[in-house]
Amino acid sequence: MSRVLLARLIDLAIVLFGVSIIVFLMIRLIPGDAVAIMLGANTEITPERMAELNRRVGLDRPIVEQYLIWAGSALQGDFGTSLWTGRPVAEEILIHLWPTLELTFLSLLIGAVLAVPVGCLMAQTRGGAADVVMRVTAIAGLTIPSFWLGIVMILLLSMLAPGFASLGYVPFSEDPLGNLQRMLLPSIALALPILANLSRLVRSAMLDALGQDYIRTARAKGVPERRVVYKHALRNALIPFLTSVGIMTGYLLGGAIVVEQVFAIPGLGRLILGAIAERNYPLIQATILVVTAGFVLVNFLVDMLYVVVDPRVRA
């Protein structure tokens, strides 16, 4: 077990190192430098002032030197400071991490928890009217863009319940009720495509499992149908389900940019988007590293879960 862990940690280090170099180079290849963008179009400034501003934020040094300085302090846990605000990058990421974690958790909870019974039901009623209705709904859920869904939900809610605060974000620790109120719609907007995706997956995995010989054996020896579906078949159908949930978690941890924009939630997606738009190099670099680390760790966790779910993997 500890060997596996060690191997994974080495993997993680290699991935992070590679990503750090790629990100470092890529964001500097985009045309338009940080100083010019901060100044905007039509600001009166002399080239000497521009040079001063570049020096001020350390962008006048050779690129290799910039990387070494950055990587050196990052290794010691110091991600530097945001280009113009001087705010520590770590602090900035932490602030934006909470809304993203909460959105990820809530939307997965809604999506994944509902997907299992819905998927099972679809498999059981295969070909019937209920199955068709659910499958059509699932496809709709997959194809409706979440920004559109979000805006429609905001409009509907503001008509039905005008006093319901649905925009923006308040930390759970400050106002638990206000927090959940504001997280409700974005979580649903994010959960619907997850639900659609996962329930279709559960359906096909279940259909596969229900056709197996051991199911027939279980039924033949008189096991109740509920138990056949939820104990014998479901457990075997869970592996692809877990894989999907893992990948989705990884994506959600990167921030749901569109939904964050629509609901004005200060999550990682908007942090990255804003950082790229203003070429806030230290912030982009650190945020992408954190997101990458999250992705790798989640996948590692999923691998560990395989072992729990499926005893055959243990061997």
Of residues 56 and 231, the one with the C-beta less far from another protein: 56
Q: Select the residue interacting with another protein from 165, 301, 308, 313 (CB under 8 A).
A: 165
Give dist(CA 255, CA 166) in Å, integer.
19
Could you give the CA distance from residue 246 to residue 46 in angstroms, rounded to a whole number? 52
Which residue matches tokens 């940080």?
34
Q: Would you call 224 helix, strand, or coil by DSSP?
A: coil
Stretch that binds another protein, among 82-90, 115-123, 135-143, 214-222 (CB under 8 A): 82-90
Minimum distance from CB of 105 to another protein (Å)? Answer: 16
- Tell me: does residue 39 bind another protein (CB under 8 A): yes
Please enumerate, as own/partner, the contacts of 58-61 that have beta carbons within 8 Å and a separation of 24 or more. 59/33, 59/34, 59/35, 59/281
Token pair 């950082």 in the structure block, residue: 275
Cα–Cα distances in Å, from 269 out to 27, 98, 253, 291? 16, 12, 9, 10
Please identify which residue in the block is written with the tokens 């100083």: 35
173 lies in the binding site for another protein (CB under 8 A): yes
Q: Which of 263, 281, 284, 296 binds another protein (CB under 8 A)?
A: 263
Q: Which of 13, 56, 128, 224 binds another protein (CB under 8 A)?
A: 56
Q: Please identify which residue in 72, 176, 211, 224 interacts with another protein, judged by CB under 8 A.
A: 176
Task: Please count the residues of the chain.
Answer: 315
d(CA 49, CA 28): 21
Is 86 a residue that touches another protein (CB under 8 A)?
A: yes
- Is there binding between residue 168 and another protein (CB under 8 A)? yes
Minimum CB–partner distance for residue 85 and another protein (Å): 5
Instruction: Compute φ and ψ for 266, nearest 5 degrees.
Output: -80, 75
41 binds another protein (CB under 8 A): yes
Letters for 123-152 (x = contact with another protein by CB under 8 A, - = none) are: ------------------------x---x-
The structure tokens listed for 8 are 């994974």
277 binds another protein (CB under 8 A): yes
Residues that bind another protein (CB under 8 A): 30-33, 36-46, 49, 52-53, 56, 84-87, 92, 95-96, 147, 151, 154-155, 158, 162, 165-169, 172-176, 261-264, 266-267, 270-271, 274, 277-279
